Amino acid sequence: MNCWFTSNLGDAMMAGEALEHIKDLFLSEYKTDSSRKERALFVRHESEGRLHCEVVVYFSPATVIVAKAVDATPCSIPLIDGLSLLAGSKESWSIFFPEKGVTKQ
């Protein structure tokens, strides 16, 4: 499955609890998983010209269990600009974004 998922958590000032909940679900679900390099959550603050930014979480295809648990919607792979790794292996950058030669932390 190559389908990514996304969840818009809304205003960044109010999204902290939901963000922690998603991260905790991820860590609980995949703590003993051997294919962890392909399991990652990414986050980006998006404003699209608005005054306040919104927190958007992107779930890699291998995190479908967590994505469905929080009613995330299917999407295509996100653009790398502005992304941060919320949970998962740092190696996931090179797996999902090899064309950029990414070595983000």
**Residue 53 is part of which domain span?**
4-100
* Residue 17, both tokens: 């609890």
Does any domain span residue 70?
yes
Lowest-confidence region among 6-15, 36-45, 88-97: 6-15
Asked whether residue 1 carries a pLDDT value surpassing 80, the answer given is: no
Question: What token pair was written down for 53?
Answer: 């930014």
Residue 19 within any structural domain of the chain: yes
SS3 63: helix
Nearest residue to 43 via CA among 65, 63, 1: 63
Q: Where are the alpha helices (DSSP H) in the chain?
A: 16-30, 64-69, 92-96
Q: In this structure, is residue 57 part of a structural domain? A: yes
Amino acid identity of 45?
H
Domain count of the fold of the chain: 1
Residue 76's pLDDT is: 94
In whole angstroms, give the CA distance from residue 66 to residue 51.
Answer: 30
Please check whether residue 34 lies inside any domain of the structure.
Answer: yes
- Positive or negative, the CA dihedral 55, 16, 74, 28 is positive
Interval 75-105: pLDDT, tens: 999 999 889 999 988 888 999 988 765 555 4
Question: pLDDT of 18-38, one tens digit each?
Answer: 889 999 999 888 876 656 788
**pLDDT of 59 strictly over 90:** yes
**Which pLDDT score is estimated for 74?**
97
**Would residue 105 count as lying in a domain?**
no
Residue 5, pLDDT score: 97
Q: pLDDT band for 52, please (50, 70, 90 cuts).
A: confident
Measured between alpha carbons, how far is 72 from 64 in angstroms, rounded to an integer?
Answer: 9
